[in-house]
Structure 1
Amino acid sequence: MRSKCFVGFSGYGMPVTNDPLAPLLALTGVEDAFTEARERVDAALRHRALRRNGGQVAAEVGLRAAVASAALEDHRYDLADVRGGTVTDPIVQGALRVSESLGGMTDLWPRAPRQVLARLHMLAARGSVAESDLGRLISGADRIDALAGLVAGNERTPPLLLAAIVHAELITLRPFAGPAGVVARAAARLTLVSRGFDARGLVGVEAGHLTREPEYVGSAGAYATGTPDGVRSWLRHYAAAVIEGADEIPRIGDEVLAPSGG
């Protein structure tokens, strides 16, 4: 079945001058779910470990996010094994490269999203697809243009809503060969960081998706139908995954503080 989304977007390929996604917030339960996610993130970001050990927490979040993103591509490994450097699976290594490189793409993402998507794929898929396919679209060029037009210069759409749509479109289209889902999840993370929702990259949404994996898969499929119920299902899942990621921050923070006693 061919996917029916892009849902309700106008001005394809053009910089956003109003918010074409605003009607999605009126879907039942979506705005409340997003508000709760924002509040849980704000609360988590007050954890005392972040005052002096924020870099360590961010590094651990990035590692866990990469392992989770690879697992969602069905390349599943224990976190300890990946941390220990014994896992050579190219999908895992690609997810790690992507996670480590996101900070350098934050400023470019809202200015040149097509370029960033190609770069993300090159990082994610190196060693798992043919060299000639790295960074090259294999489907959905028109919708990628539309998505790029939505991302570029968009300061109106709430960050969480924009990230959710970026993720859903890319996971629906799978426009790149190989681990396209790694690219989708990274692009959504870049949206949250670049728009200031998670400026320090501390919310491991990927781990939230993995924790709720059946819901993640089901709601992504529902989004692809293009129905209001399907889109609502995805948006509510995305908020729930953000909450899962937020709730992980204090747990990681406590682990970072534990060796020194605070």
Structure 2
Amino acid sequence: MSSASASAAAASGASNASGAAPAADPLAPLGALPGVAESVDSVRKAVDRVYGHRVMRRRSGAIASEAGLRGARGSAALSGADWALEEVRRRSDFSLDPEARTVGAALRLSAEAGQLLSIWRQSPLRVLARLHLVASGSTAEGDVVGRPRLAGERVDEPLLARFPAPDAEEVAGRLDGLSRLIIAGGSAPALITAAVVHGELLALRPFTSYNGLVARTAERIVLINSGLDPKAICPAEVGHAEQGREAYLEAFEGYVSGTPEGMSAWIAHCGRAIVLGARESTAVCEALQRGAA
């Protein structure tokens, strides 16, 4: 594989030539990379803290709703539409310009993610297609929406322009490998699986648009489905945005490199994003407890 990312190799190895299941989880070795175990531990402690907050016992729905809104705002910011939270909350028309459409897409994806959890482990490619269709909304053009791009179709993803996108044939093969990996399941911690799914979708850019938004939504689905964040109250998108766009791209460059150091840095970055998302929801819990929100 031309990009030589460790996770792409793992994904393609999720099945052998006979189609039999692999003997071991191909993502498990990533857990032994320097710093990864510490990131996994930090994430678990941060998530446990917010789930243990006394407000969660009676207001978990309100906290999840706020987490979804803030996560959507963060994801849109990384895709070039960095709006204030109150502007996102206030607006009702998201069709006027490219930034508004990006914010609208992020909000729709946040709402849709919870409807696709039961399908993810059986048909991840179907979920990804649905996410792209939802993100595109009424701006869809022809039959390019809701399916991986074909040879010659251009990717409109300015944020990731510095990273060459694989051709359509490679995308199809690696998407199949990623799908097999998800369906097979495994013992790797949720952080590792979520980071690999997120990074691989960013690297592949399987659709003609909205790949960043789709990748971050897929990360969220993995975190919910894994049981790490079953109530969807720890929005990693908030943490990705808080760390900044350049830090996000620098960490992603490590993923694309496929080196142990690069993969470790990407997983650590995703781990910090979840910790920061959990911290954001803890602040919401505190505000609700004070009656200030």
TM-score normalised according to structure 1 size: 0.93
User: Mind listing any 5+ residue stretches in structure 2 that lack a counterpart?
Assistant: 95-99, 150-167
CA contact (8 A) 1:129 1:178 kept: no
Which residue, 106, 120, 123 being the options, matches 2:134? Answer: 123
User: Mind listing any 5+ residue stretches in structure 1 that lack a counterpart?
Assistant: none
> What is aligned with 2:289?
257
> What is aligned with 1:96?
107
**Structure 1 residue 225 displacement after superposition:** 1.3
**Structure 1 residue 131 displacement after superposition:** 3.8
| SS of alignment partner, residue 148 of structure 1 | helix
Deviations 1:143-167 (A, max 9, x none): 1111001111404222111111000
Taking only the aligned residue pairs, the percentage that are identical comes to: 35
TM-score normalised according to structure 2 size: 0.84
**Structure 1 residue 11 displacement after superposition:** 2.7
**Structure 1 residue 79 displacement after superposition:** 0.9
The separation in 1 between residues aligned to 2:66 and 2:136, in whole angstroms, is 22
CA contact (8 A) 2:71 2:236 kept: yes
> What is aligned with 1:230?
262
> What is aligned with 1:4?
4
Deviations 1:35-68 (A, max 9, x none): 1111111112111111111100000000010111
The separation in 2 between residues aligned to 1:161 and 1:153, in whole angstroms, is 15
> What is aligned with 1:210?
241
Which residue, 143, 146, 149 being the options, matches 1:135? Answer: 146
- Residues 208 and 199 (structure 1 numbering): CA distance in 2 closer, same or farther, change over 3 Å? same
CA contact (8 A) 2:50 2:281 kept: yes
The separation in 1 between residues aligned to 2:107 and 2:22, in whole angstroms, is 32
The separation in 2 between residues aligned to 1:83 and 1:16, in whole angstroms, is 46
- Residues 91 and 40 (structure 1 numbering): CA distance in 2 closer, same or farther, change over 3 Å? same
CA contact (8 A) 1:17 1:154 kept: no
- Residues 130 and 196 (structure 1 numbering): CA distance in 2 closer, same or farther, change over 3 Å? same
Cα RMSD between the aligned structures?
1.8
Q: Which runs of structure 2 are paired with 1:62-73 in the superposition (5 Å)?
A: 62-73=68-79
Q: Which runs of structure 2 are paired with 1:47-86 in the superposition (5 Å)?
A: 47-86=53-92
Identify the range of structure 1 (39-48 vs 11-20) with the bigger mean alpha-carbon deviation: 11-20
- Residues 155 and 23 (structure 1 numbering): CA distance in 2 closer, same or farther, change over 3 Å? closer
